[in-house]
Every structure is written in structure tokens, then in C-alpha cells.
Amino acid sequence: MSTFHFQQFSVEQSQSGMKVCTDSVLFGAMAPIKAGANVLDIGTGTGLLSLMAAQLGAAQVTAVELTLPAYHEALLNFNNSPWANRLCIIHQDIQQFSRYHDAKVYDLIICNPPFFEKHLKTTDALRQTARHTDQLPFEDLVQCVEYLLAETGLFYVLLPAHAVEKFTDLAQSVGLYLNHQTDFKGYEHNDSKVSALRFHRTPQTLCKKLHTIYQAHRIYSKDSETYLADFLLRFAKKP
């Protein structure tokens, strides 16, 4: 299906290189959104994380998207949502966006970036851009975030386990320090494969957590259900 329906919004995803998946939905549901926050979503794709941020109470969300098909799709999703007046999308790469933008203005920067550097590439051009770091090297990403993030702001990013150490070192080199890490694993017997990371400008003691997504096949864990209760249709309260 090309449209994924949530309780309060829907995501058309026929043109985006990356579709809605459990990891990204959990990542968005766990985002540290404060009411009234000014949020930047780097590489928004379908606009999913921006829409979730708006539902969680962000006052303004600016989404930046490089690929034109995904830009048009996210714009459609924003305009069809209850928060169209709080969502703005820009067709541009983040490097150019930061070059012409005011510094240190965003309370929260969120990103589910392309992260494959040396893996076999897909022949699907949109999916390749969404999954591989050619257009957005980690070095560029952390430099742009450092420039755009407010002094007391948070940078929130989803990465595979194999990239966490390298990315953390790069972030620290520009003055962004890891203070919270949630490792996701599918089932209790699995190893964690992705991590939700929070960075701050001030070094703090690292808080590290492990989140198990499922307790059985197609049955979410209680922790997952807590985060997803206001988003997924399966948890919608019956009238």
C-alpha cells in the first residue's frame, strides 16, 4: 500500500526512497519534543518525523529534503495533516540550507540519515540517496547541526549500531556530546541493530537504555505500546 494511515494523519509514500518502518515510527514517537519547540527535520523523506513532532507539540517544524519526488510527497502529507500551518518544507540539501540560514536557532534537530558507506548499492536512485552517505557524509551532517542547533538544543539521530562509535567521535569533534542512547532490538533474543542518540553541547553522563520492540510475533512489547499508543491505528481507542 502506498499510504500508511496513523490515528491523526496519513503518509503517502509511493515516491519516497524510504518507507514507513517500525524503527522510524518508534524513533519519532520517542523524540524529546517540548511544547512550543522549534524543530528541524533533516532529510524528511515522506515527512513522517515532522508530522510526529507536530503531533507531539512542536510549535514549528522545518523539514529539509533533497530529492524532488520526496519533497512533493512530504508537502502533500503536510498539507493533508491537521498541522499544515506549523509545517514547512524546503527542497534543498542541508549543506546549502545551513549556508544561508541563521545560526543556533533550533531547539531540536532530528534526523534519520543515510548511513551506508561501503555497502552494495541499489539500482533504485531514490532509495540509494535515502540510504547511502554520498549526498550527506557524516562529517557534513555534524557540522551543519553544530551551526544550526540552539545553545541549549538537542540533536536526535537514528543510526545503525555499527555507525554509533564513528558518529559519536565526529560529533564530539565539533562540540556535540552524546548524553542519551537507546538501543533497539527486535526481540529479546536479538542483538540491537539501531540506536536513537541524543547529543547536547554540554558534556553529561551518558544514559544508556535497551528497548525491545516486540514481545512475540506481531505483538509489541509494553514499552513499545506506551510510545506508539497515540500513533498507530491498532491502539486507537474505540468510541
* Res. 239: pLDDT tops 90: no
What is the mean pLDDT of the segment spanning 199-221? 96
Q: Which of 43-47, 119-123, 171-175, 185-189 has the least mean pLDDT?
A: 119-123
Return the higher-pLDDT residue of 121 and 56: 56
**Tell me, what's the pLDDT at 15?**
84
* Res. 127: pLDDT tops 50: no
Q: How far apart are CA 47 and CA 230, in angstroms?
A: 18
Return the higher-pLDDT residue of 130 and 15: 15
What is the mean pLDDT of the segment spanning 149-167? 96
* Res. 135: pLDDT tops 80: no
Q: How far apart are CA 197 and CA 156, in angstroms?
A: 6
DSSP single-letter state for residue 118? S
57 φ/ψ sector (left φ>0, alpha ψ -120 to 50, else beta): left
**Tell me, what's the pLDDT at 105?**
97
CA torsion sign, 119 to 125 to 129 to 133?
positive
Number of CB atoms found within 10 A of residue 168's CB: 20
* Res. 209: pLDDT tops 90: yes
Cell numbers at residue 2, please? 502506498
* Res. 116: pLDDT tops 90: no
Q: Determine what percent of the chain is predicted with pLDDT higher than 70.
A: 91
Cα 134–chain centre separation: 18
What is the mean pLDDT of the segment spanning 209-235? 97
Q: Determine what percent of the chain is predicted with pLDDT higher than 90.
A: 85
**What are the pLDDT digits (tens) for 64-75?**
999 999 999 999
Q: How far apart are CA 190 and CA 88, in angstroms?
A: 38
Q: Tell me if 89 sits within 8 A of 71, measured CB to CB.
A: yes
What is the mean pLDDT of the segment spanning 86-113? 96
**Tell me, what's the pLDDT at 18?**
82
Cell numbers at residue 58, please? 512542536
**What are the pLDDT digits (tens) for 17-32?**
788 999 999 999 999 9
Structural domains in the chain, sorted by start: 3-118+126-221 (3.40.50.150)
**Tell me, what's the pLDDT at 81?**
98
Q: How far apart are CA 109 and CA 156, in angstroms?
A: 6
Return the higher-pLDDT residue of 218 and 50: 50
- Coil/strand/helix, residue 45: coil
How would residue 131 be classed by pLDDT, with cut points 50, 70 and 90?
A: very low
Whose CA is closest to 142, among 128, 127, 159, 118? 159
